[in-house]
Amino acid sequence: MKGYLVLDLSITELNGFLEYADKIPAFIAKHGGRYLVQGVVPEKVEGEWLPDRLVVLEFPTTAKAKDFLDDPEAQGLFTLRKASTTSQLILAEGCTA
């Protein structure tokens, strides 16, 4: 089943984040992923959760999403994202249709 990474983030250091944003798409594509939502400011409809910015990535499988997260060549970029944002990340498995 497809795997979805959902990233809720607030940018705290713009230059570092811009470097991350420029380089990470190649690693997403390397693992068969694609953006469904790319850094948009969401509109709150109900409840308390309101990310500053939201990213949703779709991968062919949850295993591919985990491979992306574990990619040794991308670890420096993940460190850069963590240093330049306040963020939360979840992995969800899609349903069969």
On the question of pLDDT at 96 being above 90, the answer is: no
Sequence letter at residue 3: G
Query: Is 60 among the domain residues?
Result: yes
Name which of 33, 13, 27 is nearest 76 in CA terms. Answer: 27
* Angle (CA) 16 30 88, round 5°: 45
Domain housing 82? 3-41+51-92
pLDDT at 10: 97
| Chain mean pLDDT for the chain | 96
At 61-90, the pLDDT tens digits run 999 999 999 999 999 999 999 999 999 999
Buried b (16+ CB within 10 A) or exposed e, 10-34: ebeeeebbeebbeebeebbeebebe
Amino acid at 38: Q
pLDDT tens digits along 21-49:
999 999 999 999 999 999 999 999 999 99
Tally the domains of the chain.
1
CATH number at residue 55: 3.30.70.100
Q: Is residue 18 one of the residues assigned to a domain? A: yes
Indicate whether 7 belongs to any domain. Answer: yes
pTM, two decimals, is 0.94
Within a domain: residue 46?
Answer: no
